[in-house]
Structure 1
Amino acid sequence: MKKINSLVTFLVLLTTLFSFAQQKPQTQKVKVTGKVIEKSTNQPLEYASVYAQNTKNPSLVSGGMTDAKGEFTFDVPAGVYYIKIEFLGFKTVEFKDKAINSDTNLGVIAVTEDSKQLDEVVIIAEKSTVEIKLDKKVYNVGKDMTVKGGTASDVLDNVPSVSVDVDGNVSLRGNENVKILIDGKPSGMIGVNVAQALKQLPADSVDKVEVITNPSSRYESEGGGGIVNIILKKGKNQGINGSVTGTVGHPQNYGLTANFNFRAENFNFFTNLGYNNSISPGNFLRNSEYLDPNPGSPTFIDEMRENDRERKGKNNNFGLEWYLSKSLTWTNTIGFSKNEGGNPENVTYYNYDENHELINIRNRYNDQTNESNNINYSTNFTKNFAKEGHKLTADFSVSGNHDNDFSKIEETLDDNSGSVITGTKNNQKQNRTMVQTDYVLPIGKGQFEAGYRGDFSNMLTDYAVLENIDPNTNTGTINTDLTNKLDYKEKINAIYSQYGGKIGKFSYLAGLRFEDSNIDINLLTTNEFNNKKYNNLFPSAFLTYELGEKSSISVNYSKRINRPRGRLINPFSNYSSNIAYFKGNPDIDPSMTNAFDLGYMKQWDKLTLSTSAYLNHTENSFQFIQRESGDFVDGIPVIETTPINLATEYRAGFEFTLNYTPFKWWKLNGNFNFFRNETQGDYTYTDYQNQVVVQNFDNVAYTWFTRISSKITLPYAIDWQTNATYNAPQTNAQGTSLGVISANLAFSKDVLKDKGTFTLNVNDLFNSRKRIFDSNLNSVIAHTEMQGRERQINLSFTYRFNKKKTDKDKLPKTAGESEDFIGG
């Protein structure tokens, strides 16, 4: 840790010295004023943008926006400037080589409508909901009405190539080995449970989402399926501006989010605040047939579960970007979140004999409560040198997460024989530190990059099952067979270098990343200590050829790793069902993926097409197997689900994304993904009867999913958006997932001269978003349906002050954003 502190101190001093060394005496500043009006009406034009750039020193940039009177004012050092005045739908006015040596009034500037630009106003004002680039897709959340009042999990479930299942697990192109980032780096919220953290982050705090299917060496190598980067809102418009959104919904959903920023000459302050109070009903169904039951045990069991996920949460983020000089910027952000709630589950088992005659009814009520606290801090220094593109950045972040769960489980039979009360305790604590520095040097028509990144995290999980609980004190006897304390420590150090450039119509980028991993997995309860230490090289290569002005083809390769964490390695049991549970595997190893991608992009006037054929070859891939645990409940065998490394996996597919605007009042976005998944491997284990069981997991599965989004402007300027998704059936060695179709619907209307917006949306219109699975084991055949959240209806109102709906914030580069040549 001392080395890390020394490194950060050295980088700060280094960038500061560079700054002072290059600073020149400041020339006297002068004031520039003027007024902008609409020529046809002579009315003042509010929110017009005024931009001024020094012609001899392009790094000197200033400007502002007009006020309600159409007037503007800003200060610049004396010199010669290029000045332009812009407003959406109007022709740009330019002043070239304008000498500004003393206070200058540019006078009244009349702007005229641009008929050509007005025809394109819808596209310019809103930008594409999906921006397609060769190396990534950028999804602009602010344009999606269907996620208003929802969570980040809802946002990701509408992103092309991305899917979120009923448990909140994120997959990219059908691959769940995905790295989730917030603002380009792991967040404190993402420590223990990614799915749960995404449900705690309000959708209205998210500005856009980057989907990177094949990252370069600059990015960390984690995530065999790629990277999903969630970028939060950080306004940078001049002056004080922002927006507030309030939401009410059914089932219960009350939310309030706000984002503000204050931009001055030497600093920019921004903040996001959010509160949510919601109840999300869910349900579960499993019909099981036991093929060889014990005498007197049920042959058929129907399990019905209903739950109400309750959550009250606060999320607060504050940031300050300080312009220490014209070439040195220092940014600090701090975030707090506190969430509490519960997930009461009512589970009923209907037990039948071989003739399907009812034997008895067993009820299990799980009263689960949760409290989560998160804090994170990050700081960034960016030093820009005299040559354009030449820069040095240094990042440091630290985060902490505390998550405490307690469940009191009461079981009763319909024979009034009394009840048995058990419970579970799951307390998790995580701390994470990240240090990163990146150096970028333009060389001719190319660019060289190099950097270091250190990730250091520690997670302590204390899980216990309590029996014979006293309902008054919630204390009981610890079941040592199902109790464990896990101490997980991870230290990853990485260095990378890459070079990219352009020769004629060819663009190229090649890089190499080295990562050293040192991981401790310590089971403190059983005194089992395991250290895994390894290092790997991760090459990447990208090649693009411009077929024409608006079309290109690319070939990409990268090597990735997926390290098991959290529930995958923790051997505690999920005790929500006493006849089926999930158990982690502390001996599981990381999987390695070689990813190949062939892409093509073509743009027409109203249509953009992006296609990709891809192949992922993974060694030691994670698979979830089901087996008899050897335990019985009233003669019923308990089924255990656990992850294992299952030899080799081949995943090959084809996808395309379309952005089509047939008319200026109608936009269509579509995404289709077809893939073939092949696993090769055998799993051998010794069952509870001491018999060796060999399961062959060789399997080839074909499946596909598609998503389409339509946005239409109706009469009276009402926007109507519809999203529909279909996930086709998929088979594996132990069963089949059935196909599921779902849809979201939303209407939106601007009011108060576009400063306010009402939005009504329906999430899961047909109440059909479920996971439906048929499994076939040697001892049991089961049909399962799971719905994490039932249909949700929300009404939201957004009010913007000093900021129109069409204003676009300029966002700073985050630590995870790349300067790659591929994809612009």
Structure 2
Amino acid sequence: MNTRILFPTAAFVMLSVAVFAQVEIPEVKPKADSLQMAVDTLLLEGITITAERPLFSVEGEKTLYQVSDDPTVQGGVASDALQNAPGVSVDVEGNITLRGTSSVEIWINDQPSNLTEENLKAYIQTLPANAIDRIEVITNPSARYATTADGIINIVMNTKIKRNEFFCFGTNVSSQPYVMPWASYVWKNDKWTVNAYANTYWYHGKGEAHSEKDLYGEDEEGNQVLTSHLKSSMFNNYATYSPGVNLNLTYTPDKMNTFSLYAMFWDSFGPSEVRQERERIEYIEQSGEYKYSIENKSNSNYLFLPYGLNYQHKFDEEGHNLTLRMNGSITRSALPIDYHKIYTLPSPYERAFVMDYVSTNIPINARVDYNLPYSKNGEFGMGINAGWEGKNECSPLDSLANGVYVHDSVMSYRFRQVDHHLGGYFQVRHRFGNFTVQPTLSLRYYRTGIVYPDAPNYDSTAYYFYPLPSLHLSYHTQSMHNFKLSYSMRIQNPYAEQLSPFIKFDEESYATGNPKLKQVFTHNIEASWTKYWDDFGSVGLTGYYKGKQNEINKITDAAYHEHYGRVVSFNWPVNVGRSYNAGGEFNMMYRPNGMFNLRFYANLYESYIKTDDALESSEMLCYSFRLNLWTKLWDRLEVHASAYYNSPTQTLFWKKGANYSVDCGMRADFFDHKLSVFVNGYDLFGLLKQDTYIDSPTVTVSETSRYNSSCVCAGFTLRFGNIELENEAQNGGEAAGQ
């Protein structure tokens, strides 16, 4: 199948006005016994020995960057400090990535920030760098963090925001066309914080796709033969409208207690029209040539309502604390479709139906975490979590017969899936001089069940109970050599819909589950060495092994089915057997000062897959590299450029081609950061494309997706208001809960 997807050239402008302003830091004289200095001085028989805290170090699963000890960034803002944290990149718009991925959570003082994207950008581009004690980078979070992100960046303050108030508004405009006006408001005093954000956008899109696909089956003598060939062209035209509101409230009655609440409303709806032209040749059953067109109209609606409550109590300032969290969401998707298939060959005929798809998903989760330092060199943490998730999906379909729409029980379906999970963890971290040991053990119970009211024979329920151990070891020297060795095990459970053999029929194919699915066991081993220099940067080497047993892949296969009376393609999940990625990473960061860095990252690994029956196996050498340049000139002009290349990758019967791109941008600050102007260019040479290949015993597919991803973005930001900062007593020390 050869596919080509075309999109219009994208160029958009962002104009924004933010109301907040210069930073005023009042002079505070902390008590001598409450101030922990960055440089410890020891008097011994008249000799003064000074031991400086390393600028970069590794402790357990964390890589630490001591911002307060880096004089080169003290005149900058938080985004300048983040640029110098290992593995972290910030583009000129304020978007943050960690080791090349945007799947990263930003925490502030050991708590999720829950800031919206625009407010987070405003925060890091305004907060003074000298208000930050350190930045902690966690690339492989342990069970205690309860996050689905690939990494966490924790910003630990040596000051607290005493009072601020700012208002932001702006508009994003694109030639697609795309328009998004937005507004943001933040108010804070010493006890309350209010963070509100609202936006709406309108988008109109057009696209087309062209494809070919071959299916294979067996003839009467058992020989594999070509059974059908399909060629199609698709054209679509759609519009989307999406209003949204986000609200965050935080109440801190005193230094020992914090309450927070967040809630969001986001709706997306709009019409869509799709037209397809298809030609199909059948060589075995129903042999002949078929030509037909497909036209369908829909008006989709997607509603998302997440919410959360958090409470933290500190028993002291040394890390003894208790945290309670509860979060959930309500998601509803609706997609009514009016479908018409009009045949011209072998004879005129019209097939029509109406479908009213509705899906509702309601997850609720609760979590308790407790941390207790048992000495100045160690602490233990423990926690429990529980969750419930209910999903209802209904897709009634009525087919046109003799001018009347009649319910089609074969093409219709409905089900309810309910999942429960319960877990707990225990973690110890202890420092033996420069050596840190951090073992974690998590125990989890998971139950998944599905009910089909109209087909109870397909109901399915499964139970799982399993441990998840992990171990992180780290060692650092005074000369800033850092060593890390870690092991973790993760288990992926198949969910009930994957386990049920219920068949969902489509016009040209179907999908089903697999009752024989097993748990997926993943073993991660990583060893790394990193050397840091204050006046150069860092060089690092990492070796890793990520092995999976029973990895679940969604396989495209083909077989004869009586509903269609011919060979058709179908999708189903299978355990592919044993697979692993084993290789190494090299990274280098050159930073002669805090306002310039050049980064190079390379990854080389072997990808191996082998089925349990040993009939199928595949081996591929994969690699990627990324080059980033960032500099800040004259304390006001930022310049950023990046390029990346990812080689082909694979799963069983499926390969993805290489992709690559070059981006650049710049931003300038004026009037003491009250005015910022930026311009960005993405995929400068129009290189971005994606090739996909499927080569299974019964299906061959060749697909190319390409669009004009070249994009120019420009905008400005104005800031007015006031942020007052108050120094904490624990300046330069480690925050509670580390």
For the Cα contact (< 8 Å) 1:250–1:793, is it kept in 2?
Answer: no
Q: Partners of 2:736 and 2:190 in 1: how far apart?
A: 27
Show the counterpart of 2:143.
217
- The one of 380, 385, 389 equivalent to 2:319 is 389
Residue 719 of structure 2 aligns to a residue whose secondary structure is strand
Unaligned runs of 5+ in 1: 1-44, 60-115, 148-154, 164-169, 171-179, 190-200, 684-694, 812-817
For the Cα contact (< 8 Å) 1:244–1:798, is it kept in 2?
Answer: no
Deviations 1:549-588 (A, max 9, x none): 423010011111223459856878888x844565555664
Show the counterpart of 2:485.
555
Q: Partners of 2:189 and 2:88 in 1: how far apart?
A: 29
Show the counterpart of 2:194.
269
Q: Partners of 1:129 and 1:506 in 2: how far apart?
A: 27
Residue 214 of structure 1 aligns to a residue whose secondary structure is coil
Residues 586 and 774 of structure 1, relative CA distance in 2, 3 Å threshold: same
Residue 410 of structure 2 aligns to a residue whose secondary structure is helix
Q: Partners of 2:727 and 2:196 in 1: how far apart?
A: 15
Residues 290 and 497 of structure 1, relative CA distance in 2, 3 Å threshold: closer
Are 1:128 and 2:82 matched, yes or no?
Answer: yes
For the Cα contact (< 8 Å) 2:460–2:500, is it kept in 1?
Answer: no
Residue 525 of structure 1 aligns to a residue whose secondary structure is coil
Q: Partners of 2:464 and 2:629 in 1: how far apart?
A: 48
Residue 251 of structure 1 aligns to a residue whose secondary structure is coil
Deviations 1:45-97 (A, max 9, x none): 952312536528959xxxxxxxxxxxxxxxxxxxxxxxxxxxxxxxxxxxxxx
Q: Partners of 1:245 and 1:606 in 2: how far apart?
A: 39
Show the counterpart of 1:47.
23
Residues 291 and 453 of structure 1, relative CA distance in 2, 3 Å threshold: closer
Give 1 or 2: higher strand fraction: 2
Q: Partners of 2:497 and 2:92 in 1: how far apart?
A: 33
Q: Partners of 1:789 and 1:230 in 2: how far apart?
A: 33
For the Cα contact (< 8 Å) 1:282–1:787, is it kept in 2?
Answer: no
For the Cα contact (< 8 Å) 2:26–2:726, is it kept in 1?
Answer: no
Show the counterpart of 2:304.
374
Q: Please give the residue correspondences for 1:178-193 in structure 2 after superposition, counting only pairs within 5 Å.
A: none
Show the counterpart of 1:113.
none
Per-residue deviation at 1:435?
1.4
Show the counterpart of 2:551.
621
Per-residue deviation at 1:784?
1.0
Q: Relative contact order (C-alpha < 8 Å, sep 6+): which is higher?
A: 2
Residue 801 of structure 1 aligns to a residue whose secondary structure is coil
Residues 117 and 299 of structure 1, relative CA distance in 2, 3 Å threshold: same
Are 1:506 and 2:445 matched, yes or no?
Answer: no
Counterpart amino acid of 1:215?
P
Show the counterpart of 2:628.
709
Deviations 1:144-164 (A, max 9, x none): 4396xxxxxxx7xx652538x
Counterpart amino acid of 2:399?
E
For structure 1, which segment, 311-320 or 439-448, has the greater mean C-alpha deviation from structure 2 after superposition?
A: 311-320
For structure 1, which segment, 257-266 or 763-772, has the greater mean C-alpha deviation from structure 2 after superposition?
A: 763-772
Are 1:446 and 2:394 matched, yes or no?
Answer: no
Q: Partners of 2:496 and 2:204 in 1: how far apart?
A: 26
Deviations 1:498-538 (A, max 9, x none): 11011111011112111111221223331132221121111
For the Cα contact (< 8 Å) 2:369–2:382, is it kept in 1?
Answer: yes
Deviations 1:623-672 (A, max 9, x none): 12221142499987421122212222222232234433467765434433
Q: Please give the residue correspondences for 1:449-598 in structure 2 after superposition, counting only pairs within 5 Å.
A: 449-468=381-400, 476-527=405-456, 528-565=458-495, 578-579=507-508, 583-585=512-514, 588-598=517-527
Percent of residue pairs bearing the same amino acid type? 16
Show the counterpart of 1:175.
none
Residues 426 and 661 of structure 1, relative CA distance in 2, 3 Å threshold: farther
Per-residue deviation at 1:544?
0.3
Are 1:160 and 2:99 matched, yes or no?
Answer: yes
Are 1:427 and 2:358 matched, yes or no?
Answer: yes
Residues 713 and 129 of structure 1, relative CA distance in 2, 3 Å threshold: closer
Per-residue deviation at 1:304?
3.0
Number of residue-to-residue matches in the alignment: 649
For the Cα contact (< 8 Å) 1:619–1:647, is it kept in 2?
Answer: yes
TM-score using structure 2 length: 0.75
- The one of 618, 633, 658 equivalent to 1:699 is 618
Residues 529 and 573 of structure 1, relative CA distance in 2, 3 Å threshold: closer
Residues 47 and 618 of structure 1, relative CA distance in 2, 3 Å threshold: same
For the Cα contact (< 8 Å) 2:192–2:249, is it kept in 1?
Answer: yes
Counterpart amino acid of 1:534?
Y
Residue 238 of structure 1 aligns to a residue whose secondary structure is strand
Are 1:240 and 2:159 matched, yes or no?
Answer: no
For the Cα contact (< 8 Å) 2:427–2:438, is it kept in 1?
Answer: yes
Per-residue deviation at 1:119?
8.3
Residues 123 and 336 of structure 1, relative CA distance in 2, 3 Å threshold: closer
Per-residue deviation at 1:348?
2.9
- The one of 283, 288, 294 equivalent to 2:213 is 288
CA-atom RMSD in angstroms:
4.5
For the Cα contact (< 8 Å) 1:389–1:441, is it kept in 2?
Answer: yes
Residues 774 and 538 of structure 1, relative CA distance in 2, 3 Å threshold: closer
Counterpart amino acid of 1:730?
T
Q: Partners of 1:786 and 1:438 in 2: how far apart?
A: 45
Residue 388 of structure 1 aligns to a residue whose secondary structure is coil
Show the counterpart of 1:10.
none
Residues 441 and 777 of structure 1, relative CA distance in 2, 3 Å threshold: closer
For the Cα contact (< 8 Å) 1:284–1:787, is it kept in 2?
Answer: no
- The one of 134, 143, 150 equivalent to 1:227 is 150
Q: Please give the residue correspondences for 1:275-314 in structure 2 after superposition, counting only pairs within 5 Å.
A: 275-289=200-214, 300-308=229-237, 310-314=239-243
Per-residue deviation at 1:758?
3.5
For the Cα contact (< 8 Å) 2:22–2:674, is it kept in 1?
Answer: no
Per-residue deviation at 1:331?
1.5
Q: Partners of 2:629 and 2:609 in 1: how far apart?
A: 37
Residues 399 and 130 of structure 1, relative CA distance in 2, 3 Å threshold: farther
Counterpart amino acid of 1:425?
D
Q: Partners of 1:468 and 1:573 in 2: how far apart?
A: 22
Q: Partners of 2:175 and 2:725 in 1: how far apart?
A: 32
For the Cα contact (< 8 Å) 1:509–1:820, is it kept in 2?
Answer: no
Unaligned runs of 5+ in 2: 1-20, 36-69, 125-134, 221-225, 729-734
Counterpart amino acid of 1:453?
N
Deviations 1:750-776 (A, max 9, x none): 456532334343444444444312323
Q: Partners of 1:520 and 1:426 in 2: how far apart?
A: 21
Residues 802 and 549 of structure 1, relative CA distance in 2, 3 Å threshold: farther
Q: Partners of 1:809 and 1:579 in 2: how far apart?
A: 65
Show the counterpart of 2:692.
773
Counterpart amino acid of 1:462?
C
Q: Partners of 1:498 and 1:304 in 2: how far apart?
A: 56
Q: Partners of 2:589 and 2:207 in 1: how far apart?
A: 34
- The one of 357, 365, 368 equivalent to 1:437 is 368
Q: Partners of 1:492 and 1:56 in 2: how far apart?
A: 49
- The one of 550, 561, 575 equivalent to 1:645 is 575
TM-score using structure 1 length: 0.68
Residue 150 of structure 2 aligns to a residue whose secondary structure is strand
Q: Please give the residue correspondences for 1:69-88 in structure 2 after superposition, counting only pairs within 5 Å.
A: none
